[in-house]
Structure 1
Amino acid sequence: MKAVTISKNGGPEVLELKDIKLGEPKSGEVLIKNEAIGLNYIDTYHRSGLYPVELPSNIGIEGAGIIEKIGPDVKDFNVGDRVAYASMPIGSYATHRIFPTKKLVKVPNEIELENVVTLMTKGFTVFYLLHKTYPVKSGETILFHAAAGGVGQIFCQWAKSLGCTVIGTVGSDEKVDIAKANGCTHVINYSKENFAKRVKEITNAEGVPVVYDGVGKKTFDGSIECLKIRGMMVSFGNASGPLDPCNVTKSLAPKGLYLTRPSIAHYTSTKEELDEAAKKVFEMYISKKFTLNIFKKYSLNEIVKAHQDLENRRILGPAIIIP
């Protein structure tokens, strides 16, 4: 098999494609031939060391493929099953891998494997943001940063289907139309406008009950400003860099705000939670509550370029790797 590995933390150049020999699946494990692999911003955090992993390490958390072998005592999965995953253990950037069944889901026949890897991490993220972390209500006006990105495109469509008015921010004019096409009622280019001031204008100075922020350092203070009394700041990413320490007295106390830092792992820690998330995401996609278009496909040989494009914001929507 071939797999992408890192022996040190750093930029995209530390990614290496190597030949690796796999063993046999053990109890509770299966051998999967990957057909498609997810490309996610969290992969850059593992590579850079922002989210530390033990080195040397494989990389990637999301993939979909066909089971080729099953280990002892595996009862819920069979050879030939179409499956997908989006969690640790790390190592999806590979042609094949061994993976625990407790973190696997079966893929409905209505969904292509190339599409399902745009649904797992991104779709699961949208599910927990909208239904678990801050369960939105129809009629609410909410703010989502990076509305034209892979998560944003799913989020805005999904939120609109629930009856929300979505204010989206983007970083360039070319992304404004993408955000509008995917469900945003209002779009703010925060590289040109003060987004907090604009949100206040849109909401008649009331503010929003929740801000979903995957951008991080650049948008945190403005996001706090956008919130109404007792609003919730949902910080779930660091695309612009890691957050500075939060001054609770300065940032949260004046309006009695809530601050949370959720991740998929917090909402899929049991097989029951994982299956609940997968069922909802697949239902929403099959029923066309949201659609998606794969922006670009990379090969494993192009993995350095894929990470360069990801970090330089050249990817305008879901992108995948074909092993």
Structure 2
Amino acid sequence: MLIFFQIRAADSAHISLITNGSSNHVPEETTMKAYVIEQPGGPQVLQLRDIPSLEPTSDEVQIHVRAFGLNRAETYLRAGKMGEITAPRVPGIEAVGEVIHDPAGVFRPGQRVATAMGGMQFIRNGSYAEQVTVLRSNVVSLDGTSLSWEELAALPQAYLTVWGALDKSLAIQAGQTLLVRGATTSVGLAAITYAKARGLTVIATTRTAANSQRLREMGADEVIIDNGDIAQRVRDITHHGVDAALEIIGTATLRDTIKTLRPFGAVSVIGLLGGPPVLEQFHLMQDLPAGIRLNFFPSGLFGTPALPLQGTPLPWLAKEVAAGSIPSIRSQTFAFDEVPKAHRLMESDRALGKLVVLL
């Protein structure tokens, strides 16, 4: 699970985007197919409907969705864990496709692009649809790549999160050692492949020994079977501790992860698979070793002035995956009418990689 809590305040002010999310929307006869959630529940509440297609305003871009990745955030929205569902919602926080219309002319019609976050599924319709209208600041050009749509769909949310956490929060450098705690998640696999491409040594954790081979195939140099207490084993491997750690499990293992770091090392929390984002009785002097830096990276920063997407590594990553230099993290592709089936697999924790939907 990635962290989306900073967006929930906007959720309470959610407007009925399906019918009037823009003051300049296309007449109702212009429709598209999209998945709609009208009440919380299991995968069966995902209903494929015809809904209006919304024209972009001056700061938006309309995209023909070719494929999209699936994320835990969408299962939490569907289950009612991200605020009350008071109006129909279209889930989805990322997509790849072709530009239909950009009023500003920054992106040309037919241009290959990716998009992620920017309020999708929270304050605007999400990407489980044939078309999506998104903030221009959350669109990245994918010109020059030959990678297939389904492989491109595995990149945006996972790799943008990894880029933000590793480069912006942890300032990784070639030659360092990185611990990825919770590495069998799609973002964990992305962290392994990205860090290896950047010249780091990677220690990855999994709770299940059978997953070790998958992690090594992605590039992990060492794999630790995680019983919740791995700090000493990490130190046995590194002697002085790791330079940086990516915490995907969350507060359940954070204290132990902190103990794996060398002096002046850093940990970035990006996931909460282990429970709520609350550290009970956290003692700054006893639980946080001297000089250790602790932060949490929210993907809601994408496209904001704090984290503009110019310079994102997505185009480079697409070329590297196409060339076979970086392994694909995609584990399975579903058809558009199989989204409920894909949600069931995602919730089973058996995906071992990124699930994508191809339209």
> Quick one: structure 1 residues 306 and 185, their matched pair in 2 at CA, closer, same or farther if it must change by over 3 Å?
same
Q: 1:67 is aligned with what amino acid?
A: V
C-alpha separation in 2, matches of 1:251 and 1:299: 51
Matches within 5 A, 1:104-253: 104-110=139-145, 111-191=147-227, 194-204=229-239, 206-245=240-279, 247-249=282-284, 252-253=287-288
Question: What secondary structure, in the 3-state scheme, does the structure 2 residue paired with 1:243 have?
Answer: coil
Residues 1:100 and 2:138 are matched in the alignment: no
2:119 match? 89
> Quick one: structure 1 residues 28 and 163, their matched pair in 2 at CA, closer, same or farther if it must change by over 3 Å?
closer
Q: 2:59 is aligned with what amino acid?
A: G
Q: Offset at 1:101?
A: 2.5
> Quick one: structure 1 residues 7 and 213, their matched pair in 2 at CA, closer, same or farther if it must change by over 3 Å?
same
> Quick one: structure 1 residues 269 and 286, their matched pair in 2 at CA, closer, same or farther if it must change by over 3 Å?
farther
Question: What secondary structure, in the 3-state scheme, does the structure 1 residue paired with 2:190 have?
Answer: helix
2:75 match? 44
C-alpha separation in 2, matches of 1:139 and 1:319: 31
1:273 match? 308
Question: What secondary structure, in the 3-state scheme, does the structure 1 residue paired with 2:337 have?
Answer: helix
RMSD: 2.6
C-alpha separation in 1, matches of 2:67 and 2:98: 10
Deviations 1:39-96 (A, max 9, x none): 122323333444447643211111111223x25x421122222221011332001112
C-alpha separation in 1, matches of 2:288 and 2:61: 49
Q: Which runs of 5+ in 1 are unaligned?
A: none
Q: Which stretch shows the higher mean deviation, 117-126 or 194-203?
A: 194-203
Aligned partners of 2:142 and 2:315 also within 8 Å: no
1:261 match? 296
Question: What secondary structure, in the 3-state scheme, does the structure 2 residue paired with 1:17 have?
Answer: strand
C-alpha separation in 2, matches of 1:207 and 1:49: 40
Equivalent pairs counted in the alignment come to: 319
Q: 1:63 is aligned with what amino acid?
A: A
Taking structure 2 as the reference length, what is the TM-score of the superposition? Answer: 0.79
2:56 match? 25
C-alpha separation in 2, matches of 1:269 and 1:95: 26
Deviations 1:236-278 (A, max 9, x none): 0112332333514366444343221112333541498212114
C-alpha separation in 2, matches of 1:203 and 1:322: 42
Q: 1:173 is aligned with what amino acid?
A: A
